[in-house]
Chains A and B, each alone.
Chain A
Amino acid sequence: MLPVTEPLLSVRSLSVEFDAPGSGPFARRRTLRALDGVSFDLIRGETLGVVGESGCGKTTLARAILQLTPASAGRVLLHGEDLSKLGRFALRQRRRAMQLVFQDPLASLSPRMTIGEIIAEPLRAHAEGRDTGARKARVVAMMDRVGLLPGLYDRYPHELSGGQCQRVGIARALVLEPDLVVCDEPVSALDLSVRAQIVNLLMDLQHEMGLALLFIAHDLSVVRQVSHRVLVMYLGRIMETAERDALFAAPRHPYTRALLDSVPVPDPTLARARTVRTLPGDPPSPLDPPSGCVFRTRCPHAQPLCAERVPVLRQVGGSLVACHFAEDI
């Protein structure tokens, strides 16, 4: 096993650009920078929560890490190995170690395959457990681990509840015993009374299997529940990153503060007592990001400097924060 301090996953200055069609037949093609210079490390047994609103690049980040979307710049290192330098065959080998859990549990399961076949599919694809008896035993053991009764082995996804389907999705991701699991909004499509089951299951499995988890969600309460560290993104850039408790106790970036302020509290007494300072406007278009700090158009503390210079991530208190005035606010 790796020493704990060595990162399992290192992301270095990762950028992703998409071509966006211009409007009109002669318009210049435009570039949409979905991810702009993102760097972080993830160690074994650690959960990194990634939060941000729609369009902030969190799903693009997941896809770029898994080499499903090509990066325009930067590197993704797994066990110190640059994934973009690998050939197709070698990358396919490394994919065993990186798995994905999707948002919509039913849509991400093939309707024509049984639950047993779905969970066995990664084993088949990676030519593991050719002995069908042994393969089935592994699938059944995995089903047990995620809380699926063995009687569901021959059932089809549409016969299962949303929560059960997400357990199948998790079992499929874990059956190859990966090192890294990327969860993209894994509970937001589930019924309210079922979410806690899946959150607890993911936390238990992570602990038992020593997984590194990249947990992407827009729900800050869920992210706080599962994460050791949190990354706050806005318009493709990291605004702030810190240990979970530091971030929620003393957020340094104005955007992190606004996000935390905006979450409705499920307590009428507290809700009446607090004044929500709502952010004006909407996130700007990623096709036409503001100069300097991308958050400045909605920031209550914006100064002329913010339009001129892009703030770099720097240590303030317990956080790495990209704000020129993090000390003053």
Chain B
Amino acid sequence: MAAAAEPILVVDDLNVSFDTRDGELRAVRGLDFALYPGETLGIIGESGAGKSQAVLAVLGLLPTNGRATGSARYRGRELIGMPGSELNAVRGARIALVFQDPMSSLNPYLRIRTQMVEVLAHHAGLRGVEARRRAVAMLEAVRIPDAVRVLERYPHEFSGGMRQRVMIAMALLCDPDILVADEPTTALDVTVQAQVLEILRDLQRSRGIATLLITHDLGVVAGQCDRVLVMYAGRIVESGSVDGIFNQPQHPYTADLLRSIPRLDRQGRLNAIAGDPPDPMLAPPGCPYAPRCSHRFERCDRERPLLGARLSGAAACHLDAAGD
């Protein structure tokens, strides 16, 4: 698998903070990870865990009150602090993006053709018949029937599932190395979600695009990802292979989360996690999960555990083998 190759994206000590009326909000704290060619890396976490803010920072898409420090290198090129013009050449062409709500990422006033051809003209220098042929081919790759006619239509004429497929086709137009998909199926109905997930898996297999999949859905992660990062309160609390994470979770948060979700193949009362996710404005000195953790002991409140190697993957927990 991927491990032998050079990573194509290396994120090192990434910090993201926002200036808010109530003070500084630190959304991402010291994030490290690497993405290898051809793999799907899942980032899982609840709202406020920092998963979306981390990728927005890598892509230079933070709002004006946001600030990123640290490093994110795409094939050795530093993205943090890269001038906008240079970043534009990478973003959209080498690193493509698919967001949760396709309607907000498509221009409602332009035909699909105009939007797709614009991308090709800007990033690939393709025009005219050639650009059009490429656009049709990409729509067909995401299984849109009657692609030639679809090109002439406007975004509002499509259903949510069709729009998301158009977004994926647009994202892949320039043959990117990396696809960043931020909750790509969260807004879709479950039968349509199944179609889109299948398309993403197929594209991944046939084109070998490295995918960074951000989601809060453990089912989606289990079906799509090779490796997983679990984020909590702006940090990675566990990382590992998808099988390791699901079969032998090393961090109590991961284990608790897996036990708390209702499943079609399991019965009985849910093992709810007590309490609420932490307030991102506050950062108590110890482990951020300690207030909700059933394994908590004195050291957890005093000292924040660092991410350390485990049998498989890594976990940030003072227990040697969490969950036992």
- Given the known interface contacts A196-B260, A279-B191, the answer about A191 and B270 at a Cβ–Cβ threshold of 8 Å is no
Residues of A within 8 A of B198 (CB): 276, 278
Chain B positions within 8 Å of A258 at CB level: 191
21 contacts between A and B (CB under 8 A): A192-B260, A193-B253, A193-B292, A197-B272, A199-B270, A203-B269, A219-B262, A221-B262, A225-B262, A259-B190, A262-B194, A264-B194, A264-B197, A267-B246, A268-B222, A268-B223, A268-B242, A268-B243, A268-B247, A278-B195, A279-B191
Q: A192-B46, A264-B219 are in contact. Are A282 and B162 (CB under 8 A)?
A: yes
A192 touches B262 (CB 8 A): no
Residues of chain B from 267 to 285 with CB closer than 8 A to chain A in the complex? 269-274, 276-277
Tell me whether A137 is interfacial, beta carbon within 8 Å. Answer: no
Interface flags for A245-261 (1: CB within 8 Å of B; 0: not) read: 00010000000001111
Pick from B189, B265, B269: contact of A283, CB below 8 A: B189
Check if B46 sits within 8 Å of A191, measured CB to CB.
yes
Q: Once the chains bind, are B159 and A282 in contact (CB under 8 Å)? A: yes
CB distance from A298 to the nearest CB of B (A): 8
Question: How many A-B Cβ pairs are below 8 Å?
Answer: 133
User: What is the bound-complex CA distance between A225 and B266, given in angstroms?
Assistant: 9
Q: 1/0 per residue B191-203: CB within 8 Å of A? A: 1111101100000
Which chain B positions have C-beta within 8 A of A276? 194, 198
- Which A residues are CB-close (under 8 A) to B6? none
Q: Which of A114-163 contact B (CB under 8 A)?
A: 161-163
A197 and B274 form a contact (CB under 8 A): yes
- Given that A161-B276, A278-B194 are contacting pairs, would A265 and B223 also be in contact in the complex, using a CB cutoff of 8 Å? yes
A269 at the A/B interface (Cβ < 8 Å)? Answer: yes
CB of B265 within 8 A of CB of A53, answer no
The interface residues of chain A lying within 8 Å CB-to-CB of B260 are 192-193, 195-196
- Residue pair B191, A265 in contact (C-beta under 8 Å): no
With contact pairs A200-B270, A278-B198 given, residues A264 and B276 touching in the complex (Cβ less than 8 Å): no
Once the chains bind, are A53 and B189 in contact (CB under 8 Å)?
Answer: yes
**Chain B residues with a Cβ closer than 8 Å to the other chain, count:** 47
List the A side residues contacting B246 at CB < 8 Å: 266-268
- Can you list the 3 inter-chain pairs with the closest CB atoms, starting with the nearest? A264-B219, A196-B272, A53-B189
Given contact pairs A193-B257, A200-B269, A266-B258, A53 touches B222 in the complex (Cβ within 8 A): no
Sample of 5 further A-B pairs with CB below 8 A, known A264-B222, A268-B222:
A195-B260, A200-B270, A259-B191, A263-B264, A271-B223
The residues of B that contact A280 with a CB separation of less than 8 Å are 195
CB distance from A237 to the nearest CB of B (A): 16
| Least CB distance, A202 to chain B, in whole angstroms | 11
What is the distance, in angstroms, from A242's C-beta to the closest C-beta of chain B? 15
Which residues on the B side are within 8 Å of A279 (C-beta)?
Answer: 191, 194-195
- Asked if A218 contacts B189 (CB within 8 A), the reply is yes
Do the beta carbons of A193 and B256 come within 8 Å of each other? Answer: yes
Tell me the residues in window 293-326 of chain A with beta carbons closer than 8 Å to chain B beta carbons: 298
- Complex Cα gap A282–B162 (Å): 8
Within the complex, the shortest CB–CB distance from B240 to chain A, in Å, comes to: 11
B161 within 8 A of A: yes
Quick one: which of B159, B162, B218, B274 contacts A266, CB cutoff 8 A?
A: B218
The answer to whether the Cβ of B220 comes within 8 Å of any Cβ in the partner chain is: yes
- Taking a contact as CB atoms under 8 Å apart, the answer to whether A263 and B276 are in contact is no
The CA of A260 and the CA of B247, in the complex, are separated in Å by: 23
B216: interface (CB < 8 Å)? yes
For the complex, is B261 an interface residue (Cβ under 8 Å from A)?
yes
Known A193-B46, A221-B263; contact A262-B191, beta-carbon cutoff 8 A: yes
Partner of A218, one of B190, B219, B258: B190
Alpha-carbon distance A282/B189, docked complex (angstroms)? 9
Task: Scan residues 174-198 of chain A and give those whose CB is less than 8 A from a CB of chain B.
Answer: 191-197
Residue B294 is within 8 A (CB to CB) of chain A in the complex: no
Q: 1/0 contact trace for A197-215 toward B, CB 8 Å?
A: 1011001000000000000
Q: Are A192 and B261 in contact (CB under 8 A)?
A: yes
Instruction: Determine the residue in chain B with the shortest Cβ distance to A248.
Output: B264
Whether B269 lies near A264 (C-beta < 8 A) is no
